[in-house]
Structure 1
């Protein structure tokens, strides 16, 4: 972009009280708040209105997850005397339905709101000229206050050979032209788990490859083990402690489908489950499995065979190869900041390109704010909306900042839409003990919860962390069907300081997953297995 002179900058096309760069959840929440405060609002959006969540994130992924769950359960439900045989999967029809839903929600929740709130939409890519001026398609727009809410995109790490193959990110994985026979996923966070289980339900073999040695470090180690056990039963292979050395493409068995081969170094012993009878699945093999955990293992200098490799293609655990039909990158997110010319506005970036803000969401330039994923804070759409509203409020105050509201993210629930779901809020046991807190911990298996029993879905657990002295609830971890629905009650309990007795002494409907909260709290003092229904 050429340098813009001061004379050229004076000819602005529009001036706004709040000029927003971005058109997603944070941006729209900010625009609505600013409009309510009587501000003139301009919104610059270079792509599709609505941002990641509604277009290529939450909405399409959860629609496809629901479809995949129904497809898998039709053939593998737990009830006797009922047999279903699902027809062949019609991928184009499924995607068309998903796309229609996305289009409807984009219109209802975003496009229609532009006129309702009186927001001026400026289509095109924005770049700063100075701290108050943004150029879009050769025109200049001035903001008395400016909010940056440009979000993130899938991160693509440097791996030798990666650019020579046709890999997927989460975006492409939600718009597949086919269901791969074997999907290899680099990463094992929430995106990897959701999409991995989705494709497993649709019939793919799935391998997760993670650099770290433990899945989901946001969970306590014992709850992470529960997730590992569930993945085992669903036939998903997990390689932890792995470093990818190179990637190469291979001719595919199906025309126009390229296979992929990964060469991986394993930095520690890798345990892996044998395939279950329910799901045919290849696994690492060795002659003698360890006596504990019913796993098989590969150790340094021992010969192993990995899924996707022929039996004769054995190698050492220090350098192994794995082949699949498609590769999915689920290695985090990258902020959309590199084309904004933020140096012209004095906005400081962090190591990963994220915008640095204080707790009022102001940048180093006091009248410029940032909200949502672009700051690489909590990557949840509801946090982005909260921050957008807060940033607009703080930006438009007339007192120079003395009455600004500080961001409060101390009690933020999270849900991973796996099967079963994984939901958390507050402190884990490990986090509480790291802070030096004395805690009382209660954990209950789903086998002790009647709702799980009648569903024949008993893989999972509830875990509650209480302050030892007051028995105030500090945190909750739930791995269960509909855990995302249950976690809201736990969130309220953590936020408002409810105690173990509050949970035990409050009525909860019988045969609900929410009853798990009460039973887990009750288990501190009683063996709930020795109680009749609803007693205690």
Structure 2
């Protein structure tokens, strides 16, 4: 069968846009199908609006904390509508980069419509049958809505509605303690909303290093955020316009809120694609792919949130490049495998929490010679100068200096971890981090932490210490 395109990309979010742009610039014939707007969750409901909102909240908090460094002001007046205006301006400024016009100039045919597969080789949209040498599914994910009695009647928000608010809620119940729940919960609280954060776990950020999560929990407590641990929301009642929240096996009200924000995970967008007819298998986590990111139909690939796994914008882009190399490769023997060995991420709370590689527990299960190098931000002069000493750097290594993972919690953790990511990517030993760093900068935390390995090895080497003591004593005798 003759094909219309080299690649048909289904979904105009982060992964789909990277793939369509790169393929078109390589002069492949590309169709990009999107049922709503280009930009995906990241532009409209995720990274861009959330980080803009967090910035507003951080400014408010810095004003409130000015007295710590001798700057006294009146309590800040929060104009919530104007704060949301900053969010909208950020989206509007970035949106042209994801606009249909830009992609059309690159040579991509942009098709807006809700399509589905007719069979293993044809995709139908707007009455048109599209055929291609390769299809790529990059339809992303959407918020997962838990089954809670009275939830629909009470009403709720997810990240898809929260940035459309024009009036600030006086009180907010945040359900979920992952990155979205923690980031937005802290931001709303700093702007003056009374926040209660529900977590079904015994701590915040269950996927992060426990020590790092404990630092963030301490910060939340100091700021006055109410945290309910091991709390699964089971029932909601409306009483005089207020939302009364109940947890499992609890007949007592645990929280009363004006609004509810759900941050309880994501689910893949697969229902309308008719994947069964295309021979593509999927489950609750998402579309099933192999290490080449091929689905169970070898001419159909998938990337981004729709395959589950690491649900981050930068990972979707990384997966898209792997798909590009494979989908445009005429020789199947040279298909590339995705490498998830080094995937960094950050939660942009204050303090930030960043991670790459293994946790301490994971490392000890795999290796016997694990060493943990940990340095607090109090040991960094720039952190002292900026009154930002909360947190630490923890790097997990083997005795030979191989870096297995890193966990930072503190100021600019998401930026500082990049140096460690680079070292791990190129399989450099931790000694590579001990090179000269500008003084005084926060980046010194990496070099100072890396030096701990040499210090610990030296402290444990009694023979070397004895030899050096005798050597210098002998040398002095010759002077």
Counterpart of 1:264 in structure 2 is 247
Alpha-carbon distance in structure 2 between the residues aligned to 1:87 and 1:494:
43
Q: TM-score, normalised by structure 1?
A: 0.81
For residue 166 of structure 1, report the CA deviation from its aligned partner: 1.7
For residue 26 of structure 1, report the CA deviation from its aligned partner: 0.7
Counterpart of 2:351 in structure 1 is 420
SS at match of 2:161: helix
Q: Which moved more, 1:90-99 or 1:183-192?
A: 90-99
Match among 313, 318, 324 for residue 381 of structure 1:
313
Alpha-carbon distance in structure 2 between the residues aligned to 1:459 and 1:87:
24
Alpha-carbon distance in structure 2 between the residues aligned to 1:175 and 1:111:
23
Tell me whether 1:494 sits opposite 2:424 in the alignment: yes
Alpha-carbon distance in structure 2 between the residues aligned to 1:118 and 1:49:
16
Counterpart of 1:322 in structure 2 is 255
For residue 439 of structure 1, report the CA deviation from its aligned partner: 0.7
For residue 243 of structure 1, report the CA deviation from its aligned partner: 2.1
Counterpart of 1:345 in structure 2 is 278
For residue 358 of structure 1, report the CA deviation from its aligned partner: 0.5
Q: TM-score, normalised by structure 2?
A: 0.91
Q: Which moved more, 1:365-374 or 1:109-118?
A: 109-118
For residue 86 of structure 1, report the CA deviation from its aligned partner: 5.5
For residue 435 of structure 1, report the CA deviation from its aligned partner: 1.9
Alpha-carbon distance in structure 2 between the residues aligned to 1:157 and 1:94:
30
Counterpart of 1:358 in structure 2 is 290
1:34 and 1:393 in contact (8 A); partners too: no
Task: Give runs of aligned pairs for residues 387-536 of structure 1, distance below 5 A.
Answer: 387-399=319-331, 401-468=332-399, 470-504=400-434, 506-524=435-453, 526=455
1:265 and 1:319 in contact (8 A); partners too: no
Alpha-carbon distance in structure 1 between the residues aligned to 2:8 and 2:432:
46
Task: Give runs of aligned pairs for residues 27-426 of structure 1, distance below 5 A.
Answer: 27-85=16-74, 87-252=76-241, 259-265=242-248, 320-352=253-285, 354-399=286-331, 401-426=332-357
SS at match of 1:23: coil
Counterpart of 1:285 in structure 2 is none
1:78 and 1:456 in contact (8 A); partners too: no
For residue 150 of structure 1, report the CA deviation from its aligned partner: 0.4
Aligned length: 456
For residue 488 of structure 1, report the CA deviation from its aligned partner: 0.5
SS at match of 1:411: coil
CA-to-aligned-CA distance 1:51-85 (integer Å, 9 cap, x gap): 11111110111111111100121122254432223
1:360 and 1:404 in contact (8 A); partners too: yes
Q: Which moved more, 1:41-50 or 1:205-214?
A: 205-214
CA-to-aligned-CA distance 1:3-53 (integer Å, 9 cap, x gap): xxxxxxx9x9x9211111111111111112322333210111000111111
Counterpart of 1:17 in structure 2 is 6
Alpha-carbon distance in structure 2 between the residues aligned to 1:474 and 1:219:
15
Alpha-carbon distance in structure 1 between the residues aligned to 2:101 and 2:37:
14
SS at match of 2:271: coil
SS at match of 1:140: strand
Distance 1:265 1:119, change over 3 A: same
Alpha-carbon distance in structure 1 between the residues aligned to 2:48 and 2:150:
32
SS at match of 1:358: coil
Alpha-carbon distance in structure 2 between the residues aligned to 1:321 and 1:71:
29
For residue 113 of structure 1, report the CA deviation from its aligned partner: 2.8
For residue 437 of structure 1, report the CA deviation from its aligned partner: 4.1
Alpha-carbon distance in structure 2 between the residues aligned to 1:496 and 1:19:
34
For residue 374 of structure 1, report the CA deviation from its aligned partner: 0.6
Alpha-carbon distance in structure 2 between the residues aligned to 1:519 and 1:230:
25
Which of the pair is proportionally richer in helix? 2
SS at match of 2:353: strand
1:440 and 1:471 in contact (8 A); partners too: no
For residue 453 of structure 1, report the CA deviation from its aligned partner: 0.9
For residue 461 of structure 1, report the CA deviation from its aligned partner: 1.2
Distance 1:221 1:93, change over 3 A: closer
Alpha-carbon distance in structure 2 between the residues aligned to 1:216 and 1:15:
46
Alpha-carbon distance in structure 2 between the residues aligned to 1:220 and 1:98:
31
2:212 and 2:353 in contact (8 A); partners too: no
Alpha-carbon distance in structure 2 between the residues aligned to 1:91 and 1:184:
18
SS at match of 1:130: coil
Alpha-carbon distance in structure 1 between the residues aligned to 2:360 and 2:341:
16
Alpha-carbon distance in structure 2 between the residues aligned to 1:330 and 1:444:
32
Distance 1:138 1:251, change over 3 A: farther
CA-to-aligned-CA distance 1:461-487 (integer Å, 9 cap, x gap): 11111112x022221111111111111
2:374 and 2:392 in contact (8 A); partners too: yes
Over aligned residue pairs, what C-alpha RMSD do you find? 2.0
Please list every run of 5 or more consecutive structure 2 residues that lacks an aligned counterpart in the other structure: 457-479
